[in-house]
């Protein structure tokens, strides 16, 4: 798993360097995430699954991390087994990480442990509007897995230090939009759920597909996206969720 993961990360870094539209799109995503952070001096701001670490360009104080180490990241972290002390973190960000968590309840409990009371967990994921379902089902290698049962907590023999690869892109949509297993969110307050149209993201080609649109059209695409986002059931392809840790 480590070799495949690092191969993808290095490919993503190469795509990042050669695709200016992709960089602009991610800057928009990161600014949206940053607008929901608690910005004060107490506690830490941490991103799990940072990949190429691009969040630093928008949130320079962020501690970047991933499952495996890389020289451009601050530290190695595992969502099932975080190294931070209890109540040490103010903001915790998961960008395209939630759908890789086979046992979301186990990871969520660990996130809750390290967050201070009223600290925030920000999740950014694929959204399953009609357009999103089409794109992620036909144009992405990871499964959407709408019908796959969700095992909320890991079994007793689960090896947290070496989790197997897992992906199910519809997981966040099913929980935060369809309301599956909402009872599992006890101890959390859902502050915001936003579904976004993002033709800009789709036409950038992401990290694996060719860029389909000149970068100069990004402002126009941003305007179109703001209009299409008013019809999320049809056009949503990205999902932002902001959770707050309720005190015990």
**What is the tens place of the pLDDT at every residue in 92-113?**
999 999 999 999 999 999 999 9
Other residues' Cβ atoms within 10 Å of the Cβ of residue 18 = 9
Taking residues 47-52, what's their average pLDDT?
96
List phi, psi (to 5°) of 60. Answer: -60, -25
Instruction: Write out pLDDT tens, residues 121-131.
Output: 999 999 999 99
Taking residues 217-228, what's their average pLDDT?
97
Confidence of residue 177 (pLDDT cuts 50, 70, 90): very high
pLDDT at 2 over 70: no
Query: Which pTM was predicted?
Result: 0.95
The rounded distance, in Å, linking the Cα atoms of 63 and 161 is 20
What is the domain count for the chain?
1
The rounded distance, in Å, linking the Cα atoms of 68 and 53 is 13
Closest CA to 203 of 194, 193, 213, 195: 213
DSSP assignment of the chain equals -HHHHHHHHHHHHHHHHH-HHHHHHHHHHHHHHHTTS--SSSSEEEEES-TT-GGGGT-TT-EEEESS--TTSSEE--TTS--SPTT-EEEEEEES-GGG-SSHHHHHHHHHHHEEEEEEEEEEEE--SHHHHHHHHHS-SS---TTSPP--S--TT--TTSPPP---TTHHHHHHTS-TTGGGGTTEEEEEEEEEE-HHHHHHTTTTS---S-GGGHHHHHHHHHHHTT-HHHHEEEEEEEEEEPP-
Give residue 23's domain range.
2-245
43: left (phi over 0), alpha (psi -120 to 50) or beta: left
Question: The domain that contains 144 carries what CATH number?
Answer: 3.40.50.150
The rounded distance, in Å, linking the Cα atoms of 16 and 45 is 24
Residue 35: per-residue pLDDT: 98
């Amino acid at each position: 798993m480590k070799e495949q993961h690092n191969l993808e990360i290095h490919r993503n870094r190469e795509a990042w360097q050669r695709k200016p539209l992709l960089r602009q799109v991610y800057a928009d995503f990161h600014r949206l995430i940053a607008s929901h952070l608690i910005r004060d001096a107490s506690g830490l701001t941490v991103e799990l699954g940072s990949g190429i670490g691009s969040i630093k360009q928008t949130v320079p104080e962020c501690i970047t991390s991933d499952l495996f180490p890389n020289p451009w990241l601050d530290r190695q972290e595992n969502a099932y087994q975080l190294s931070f002390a209890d109540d040490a973190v103010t903001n915790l960000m998961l960008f395209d990480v939630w759908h890789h968590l086979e046992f979301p309840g186990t990871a969520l409990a660990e996130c809750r442990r390290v967050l201070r009371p009223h600290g925030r967990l920000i999740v950014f994921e694929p959204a399953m509007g009609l357009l999103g379902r089409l794109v992620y089902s036909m144009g992405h290698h990871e499964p959407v897995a709408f019908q796959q049962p969700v095992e909320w907590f890991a079994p007793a023999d689960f090896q947290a230090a070496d989790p197997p690869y897992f992906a199910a892109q519809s997981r966040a949509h099913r929980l935060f939009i369809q309301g599956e297993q909402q009872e599992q969110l006890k101890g959390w307050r859902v502050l915001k759920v936003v579904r976004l149209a993002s033709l800009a993201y789709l036409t950038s080609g992401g990290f694996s597909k060719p860029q389909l649109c000149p970068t100069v059209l990004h402002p126009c695409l941003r305007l179109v996206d703001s209009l299409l986002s008013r019809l999320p059931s049809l056009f949503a392809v990205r999902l932002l969720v902001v959770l707050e840790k309720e005190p015990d």
